[in-house]
Amino acid sequence: MDILNKTQNLEKLFEYDKNDKLYHDYLEYLKLYYQKPNKNNKYDTSYDNGKLFLIDKKNKTKKIEINPSKYTDLDKLYNDLKLNIKIVLERISLIVEKTENYNDIDREEFKNLKEKYLLYNTKIIEIDSINEKYNKSIDILLTEKIELSNNLAKYYIERTNAFNNISKEIPKNIKNELIKIYNKNENKTPLDTDVNYIAKKYTIPSKIIEEWFQWIEKCYYYLITKKKVYLINDEIKKNQQIFEYKNKNMLLKIPEITV
């Protein structure tokens, strides 16, 4: 709990971009600090009061001070905060319910407990906000997925019905040609004049050509919708993985580097 403070904003820390220059430099300095000692190393290393130091071998006055980042498991932090709030409230109750007169020690302890309660409660609110934002984003994606899945089922039925309504089979090469024509026409059924031209070209009744184009159209919408379902599944999975990783590796303190 000592790592928590008023100026810290857990929501901002949760969204902290670890690709920025500061964090990149921090990782590079950590590599130098923890590399195997050898005569070619540019720096000596030292540790003091939680801080890491890289000391230039050629000029001992040149130092790089690294104040490391701090991490926690967000779920664990949340549970610890809940527990600590209970403890703080119980201790406050003991002070308030004292039968003897308050003394300066009681007042000081009450003040400290009150500050802790406010801090812990603020952090719980921040964590709740993090979870709420994530849940809302997932709900939006799930709602979209349900709608797409319903459309997929609808297009599957329409595709099947369109195929059953075809009155005559046609050769595979002509079928492939109709698919190419549909695609070249910006995935739309050609005009009646074009359908008549195709029918005349292959000596097939226009009605049959229209029936095949109707089937092709339903197949197109089915496949496009199926692709969208796959994409949104991937997005949901990706968001879940990112959120879980951030949860397990919640940044509580941004590293500080003094060169």
Summarize pLDDT for 61-116 with one digit per residue, the tens. 899 999 999 999 999 999 999 999 999 999 999 888 876 777 888 889 999 999 99
**Residues with Cβ within 8 Å of residue 49, at least 6 apart in sequence:** none
**Residue 195 C-alpha from the chain's centroid:** 48
Q: Which of 174, 160, 245, 161 is nearest to 209 (CA)?
A: 174
Query: Are 148 and 228 in contact, with CB atoms under 8 Å apart?
Result: yes
| pLDDT (mean) for 202-211 | 94
pLDDT of residue 38: 83
pLDDT of residue 99: 66
Query: Are 195 and 210 in contact, with CB atoms under 8 Å apart?
Result: yes
What is the distance between the alpha carbons of residues 221 and 240, in angstroms, rounded to a whole number? 29
> Quick one: pLDDT band at residue 23, thresholds 50, 70, 90?
very high
Model pTM above 0.95: no
Summarize pLDDT for 181-203 with one digit per residue, the tens. 999 999 999 999 999 999 999 99
Query: Are 44 and 55 in contact, with CB atoms under 8 Å apart?
Result: yes
What is the distance between the alpha carbons of residues 74 and 126, in angstroms, rounded to a whole number? 11
